[in-house]
Amino acid sequence: MKMAILAAIAAGLAAIAPAGLAAQDAAPAAPVAAVDAPTVDAAVPAADAAAAMPADAASAYTPMAPTKGKGMPTSYEDDPLKSMTFQDQYSANGEYALWMHDGILLPVITFISLLVLGLLLYVVVRFNRKANPVASRTTHNTAIEVIWTIVPVIILVIIAVPSITLLARQYETPPANAVTIKATGYQWYWGYTYPDHGEIEVVSNMLDDAEALKRGEPGQLAVDNRMVVPADTPLRIQTTASDVIHAFAVPSLWFKMDAVPGRLNEKLIDGIPEGVYYGQCSELCGARHAYMPIAIEALPPEKFAAWVKAQGGTMPGEQAAAPAVAAPAPAAAN
């Protein structure tokens, strides 16, 4: 009885309702738009609508493709000479260290080696048994002893100046705008934490060779999640480990630092250009030591910011947007 009365009331209301309201009630309910979704005026052209989208929505992070020969080893087939020397350097300290090696160490070592070889050959020819049937009984030679003491000291002093300079540059105190990244070594992968960006944590494992080849990356160096950094920005790299001693090493940045359990080591990388740079753990750390590579991706600042937001982090000084509060309605006039 009650249901029949309700049905009759509904039929009566439908009969007296305006036609437009009836059509609206008959139409299916539209899905409720998400609160954070941007609204676009239908009259705005498509290009202007795209420009009105939030920056992080318009520029999502995609991994950068590596450049062959940059930040990675060079094979003998590609360049026989370069495959036997250091990688090209992409940090200020790396460029200085490579200059020191090529401009100071190689000439000095070559000179000393040739000098010692020449003296050895001279002694063999000049003082052999056939040329000297009666052995010399010379006990010392003051001039020679002074020379072989003073000359090596001078050479070592010359080498010490750039050596100490390079050492001091690597351990300079990072500037205030340096981005801090903590690299933690595990058996056998790396974890990267970003304390300046909401404690983002990225776990990085090696890709198999087939997947690396598909992505155009070198085998046993490609990873599933890279250590992403802003390009041309000072980096404060901190290393530690959770189990045994590891070593965080990237040859093309001239960077190597031990990761020791219970200890936090720190060193500066004074900005690197855009690109992908590969390295490896360089401390024997167990059965799969050879399979915990390092990949650093340097992005432009705006793309780095997009990556940070994609990971759920925030940029320094940035606060989460507060929920909008509706303005109070104006008081009715008396």
What CATH number did the domain enclosing 211 receive?
2.60.40.420
| Per-residue pLDDT, 78 | 78
Same domain, 104 and 212: no
Domain around 121: 82-131+143-170
Same domain, 188 and 166: no
Query: Between these two residues, 199 and 244, which has the higher pLDDT value?
Result: 244
Closest CA to 230 of 275, 260, 279: 275
Q: What span, in angstroms and rounded, lies between the C-alpha atoms of 296 and 251?
A: 12
pLDDT for 275 beyond 70: yes
Structure tokens at 282: 């360089």
> Tens digit of pLDDT for each residue in 49-79?
333 334 444 346 788 899 988 999 888 777 7
> Tens digit of pLDDT for each residue in 93-119?
999 999 999 999 899 899 999 999 999
Same domain, 297 and 195: yes
Same domain, 248 and 151: no
Same domain, 223 and 150: no
Bridge partner list, 281: 248
Say if 281 falls within a structural domain: yes
List Cβ neighbours of 180 (8 Å cut-off, separation of 6 or more). Answer: 174, 194, 195, 196, 236, 238
pLDDT for 159 beyond 80: yes
> Tens digit of pLDDT for each residue in 176-224?
889 999 999 999 999 999 999 988 999 999 999 999 999 889 999 999 9
Starting at the edge strand found earlier in the chain, the sheet holding 200-204 runs: 200-204, 189-194, 179-186, 234-241, 265-270
For the beta carbon of residue 61, count every other beta carbon within 10 angstroms: 18
Same domain, 186 and 301: yes
> Tens digit of pLDDT for each residue in 18-56?
443 333 333 333 333 333 333 333 333 333 333 333 444
Residue indicated by tokens 């009105």:
52
Where are the alpha helices (H) located in 17-105, listed in sequence order? 19-26, 46-51, 55-58, 92-100
Closest CA to 201 of 211, 192, 210, 209: 192
Query: Between these two residues, 276 and 55, which has the higher pLDDT value?
Result: 276
Contact in structure between 295 and 221 (CB atoms under 8 Å): yes
Q: How many domains does the chain have?
A: 2
Beta strands in the chain (DSSP E): 179-186, 189-194, 200-204, 227-230, 234-241, 246-250, 255-259, 265-270, 275-281, 293-299
| Per-residue pLDDT, 83 | 77
The model's pTM is 0.70
Same domain, 207 and 103: no
| Per-residue pLDDT, 34 | 34
Say if 301 falls within a structural domain: yes
| Per-residue pLDDT, 99 | 93
Same domain, 247 and 187: yes
